[in-house]
A and B are shown apart, each in its own frame.
Chain A
């Protein structure tokens, strides 16, 4: 009931820092199979990757109204004890207050670099994805509209699409992106990828052998672009092959390792829910969903593998074997 002030928030964060990472942390995101859109998917994957990089346990909860539950209106967000924190940067900060950091060994100017490149990814890749989803007519009609509206009944779905679209357009106008053409947007993405590829150079991760939140963020975006099967964007990525290998590396060693456990857990928790609710229709739905999810994850791996078969994986071979055991 108290009015929330920045000071009060700060104090609460500091107090929260004294507690260790709780066991029941939950990450809320929209339904992956039928609802989530490209920019949201990128952010959700980035946060998942970051938390896994920190070896923090969490459970993924899919909610149709995740976007509205989030304090900032953006997905994903985590619930950690009494705290609800959304988006990657605040989550990174929050994790830091618990004494867990991926960047503790880095120099100050390197930390500045991380921030700069992260804002580059946010400003270019995220805006490009938003533009593609909401301003490109074909994508909007064929992908965005049915997916974003899938959780609402008629005619609320149209209303929701319309409101969300006007919000996104407002944001893009503010950032000066709305006036761009699709080709200009692709060009921006190309430049951004080029810059990132140059920075990555021949290294495994941006800062040598140790991954950071920047790696997590980039992984989230590249991976979800690959999943989106947008030919033009994938073609741009394929020009910068080291970005693809970078994502492949993170996927194999950070995400996939947890995948089997995750699916098992998800199935278990779904079954538990079914038991308590005891509804046959719901059960079928959930089973179908987890089935699709399994297929999707298989497909996911195939996607990235297919993309990679065309690239030469020379840098990967030596990383693959022993180097990652340190982490």
Chain B
């Protein structure tokens, strides 16, 4: 009975694009569905043009294991999600029918996926205005190039100050249990660091191989080779920065280990994120160091929608010796709205004439209490984009030089700042914060910033 019902409902839809919410409306008959034996006889995929059969075959294979009708529905849904995440199709519809023909079994079903492939080349031109500079950005993307999910992406931006950035990357996903993805990219990037008084131009390429060892544990193995050209930002930059000018070649091997079991990227209410990065530079080139970074974030849901978030971040940088270079861009910096709030960007740690010099170790931690906006305006809609938060940040930074005990140095002169602010979600990736900060303890050489501080970014402490 259930089958007939489902079939009739789906027939009524003009487009093959099935709304799965409708399945909920027959929830009262779910028991029937579960009891209904079903077997998938055939799977059709309609609309494949350049996509290779074997690439999609592996994804839909699971459906053949289904035993009852509910299983078929659930599996069809997962398969649809999987197809979607391949990044080859615009929209995907599912159509389930009883199987017909001479080879049909009594409980047999035929499932048809209606897909529409993405165009061969997708592109756009837009302008953007950033730090004292306007630029023209041209982007091109060729999804599913050779029919197995390969894609080439390129972005070129031409700035009014002659700063050309480009990025050309090739991504090749493999089918398999561990979701291996291979990607490589060539890039040139300009960046300016007024707080350190230098600017840099990077020209390099990255090979990346990502793999899941357990469903939620992701490993990334990278080889990063870059020519970094550093120069002073203005005539007024300190001589210590000037001395570091020039080109260096970094060739580094990196391993990123990450577990992300949070329920949301921006405002998670539960779960943790753990990320451990090891980078060893010195496989060729003249830059040599070993760098270990760790980041941990834990969220705890309290009463109502209040969330307590703790985060910790630390890093250690060891030089390979005096024969190897160590650039300003390899060092650690602390301070700013994204890390230690209540201080200026890179405002904590050693400075020379106002320019941050960077250090070889640091740690920073934060304790946040996120709550919805007071009186909850726009509840369930616009208001959900906002959170108020109370925070305390603490951290320390320094160099290995000197005779003092390392642990002693880590424990003394801890910088602390606290404050209150509003955070806003920007899509699924970034967030904006406006905080009022009270730096509590700091050194004379630090550049503290009591009062209002504005921050926008992806990774927050």
Contact = CB atoms under 8 A, between A and B. Distances in A.
Given A1-B354, A156-B285, A277-B322, A68 B231 contact: yes
A155 B245 CA distance: 19
Contacts of A9: 235
B233 to A, nearest CB: 9
Contacts of B197: 1
A152 B235 contact: no
Interface of A: 1-4, 9, 63-65, 67-69, 71, 79, 84, 152-156, 159-160, 277, 279, 281-282
A90 B285 CA distance: 36
14 contacts: A1-B236, A3-B234, A4-B235, A64-B246, A65-B246, A65-B247, A68-B247, A69-B245, A84-B242, A152-B286, A153-B285, A159-B247, A279-B322, A282-B322
A156 B239 contact: no
> Lowest 5 A-B CB distances belong to which pairs?
A65-B246, A68-B246, A68-B245, A4-B235, A156-B249
Contacts of B231: 68
B243 interface: yes
A79 B246 contact: no
Nearest to A281: B323
A84 B232 CA distance: 13
A69 B246 CA distance: 7
A160 B247 contact: yes
A163 to B, nearest CB: 9
Interface in B224-273: 227, 230-232, 234-236, 239, 242-243, 245-249
Contacts of A79: 239
B455 interface: no
Interface size class on chain B is 20 to 34
Given A64-B246, A71-B235, A152-B249, 16 more contacts: A1-B194, A1-B197, A4-B234, A4-B235, A65-B246, A65-B247, A68-B230, A68-B247, A69-B243, A79-B239, A153-B285, A154-B284, A156-B248, A159-B247, A279-B321, A279-B322
B452 to A, nearest CB: 20
A69 B242 contact: yes
A64 B234 CA distance: 21
A152 B323 contact: no
A1 B227 contact: no
B389 to A, nearest CB: 31
Contacts of B234: 1-4
Interface string B116-128: 0000000000000
A160 B247 CA distance: 9
A75 to B, nearest CB: 12
A153 B284 contact: yes
A281 B322 CA distance: 10
Given A3-B234, A68-B231, A84 B239 contact: yes
B245 A4 contact: no
Contact of B236 (A4, A152, A154, A279): A4
A69 B194 CA distance: 18
B242 A152 contact: no
B208 to A, nearest CB: 21
Contacts of B232: 71
A156 B247 contact: yes
Nearest to B323: A281
Given A1-B194, A159-B227, A277-B322, A65 B236 contact: no
B227 A156 contact: yes
Interface in B76-121: none
A84 B235 CA distance: 9
Contacts of B236: 1-2, 4
A21 B286 CA distance: 38
Contacts of A3: 234
A65 B325 CA distance: 12
Contacts of B230: 68
Nearest to A5: B235
A79 B286 CA distance: 27
B286 A153 contact: yes
A270 to B, nearest CB: 14
Contacts of B245: 65, 68-69
A293 to B, nearest CB: 21
Nearest to A67: B246
Contacts of B322: 277, 279, 282
Contacts of B235: 4, 9, 71, 84
Contacts of A155: 249
Contacts of B194: 1
B300 to A, nearest CB: 42
Interface string B277-298: 0000000111000000000000
Contacts of B249: 152-153, 155-156
A241 B246 CA distance: 41
A153 B197 CA distance: 26
Nearest to B241: A69
A59 to B, nearest CB: 15
A283 to B, nearest CB: 11
A154 B285 CA distance: 7
Interface string B382-394: 0000000000000
A64 B321 CA distance: 18
A64 B249 CA distance: 14
Contacts of A84: 235, 239, 242
B131 to A, nearest CB: 13
A67 B239 CA distance: 14
A247 B243 CA distance: 33
Nearest to A77: B242
